[in-house]
Amino acid sequence: MSESIIRCEGLNKWYGSIQALKDVSIDIKKGEAVGLVGDNGAGKSTFIKILSGVHKADSGNIYFDGNKVKINNARDSMKLGIETIYQDSALAPTLSIARNLFVGREPLTFKIGSLGLLDREKMARESLEAIKRVELDLRSGDEVVENLSGGERQGVVIARALYFRTKVLIMDEPTNHLSVKETEKVLRWIEKLKAEGTTCIFITHNLHHVYPVSDRLVVFARGEKIADVQKKDTSIEDLTKMIVHD
Partner 1 sequence: MNIRKYFKYVASRPEFAALTIFIIIAITFYGINENFLNFRNLRVLFTISPEIALIAMGATILMVSGEFDLSVGSVFALSGVVMVVLTNEGVNAHLAFTISLLMCLAIGFINATITIRFGIPSFIATLGTMFMVRSIAIVIVKADFPTFPMEEMYWLRAIFANPIPGTIFRMSFIWFILITLLLIFYLHRSNYGNWSYSTGANQAAAQAMGVNTNNVKIRNFVLCSFLAGLAGIFMVLRTRAAFPSVGVGYELQAIAASVIGGASLFGGIGTVFGALVGAFLLKFLDNGLVMARLDVNWFRFAVGTLLIFAVISNTNLRRIANKMRE
Task: Choose between 3 and 135: whose C-beta lies nearer to partner 1.
Answer: 135
Cite the beta strand spans of the chain per DSSP E: 4-15, 18-29, 33-37, 59-64, 67-69, 82-85, 108-112, 115-118, 168-172, 199-204, 216-221, 224-230
Q: Count how many Cα atoms sit within 13 Å of the Cα of residue 144 in the half-sphere of its side chain.
A: 5
Q: Please state the closest distance from residue 181 (CB atom) to partner 1, in A.
A: 18
- C-beta closer to partner 1: residue 143 or 173: 143
Q: How far is the CB of 78 from partner 1 (least distance, A)?
A: 5
Question: How far apart, in whole angstroms, are the C-alpha atoms of residue 121 and residue 58?
Answer: 45
Q: Which residue number, 74 or 227, has a Cβ lying nearer to partner 1? A: 74
Provide, rounded to whole angstroms, the least separation between the CB of residue 8 and partner 1.
20
Name which of 115 and 195 has its Cβ closer to partner 1: 115
- Are 37 and 83 contacting, i.e. CB atoms less than 8 angstroms apart? no
Toward partner 1, which CB reaches closer, 171 or 219? 171
Minimum distance from residue 228 beta carbon to partner 1 (Å) = 27
CB of 234 to partner 1, least distance (A): 32
Cβ proximity of 8 and 60 under 8 Å: yes
Confirm if 43 and 19 have CB atoms less than 8 A apart.
no
Sign of the Cα pseudo-torsion (27, 163, 132, 154, in order): positive
Residues of the shown chain interacting with partner 1 in the complex, contacts defined by CB under 8 A: 52, 74-75, 78, 84-86, 89-95, 99-100, 102-106, 108, 111, 114-118, 120, 139-140, 143-144, 146-147
Task: List the strands of the sheet with 67-69, edge to edge.
Answer: 18-29, 4-15, 59-64, 67-69
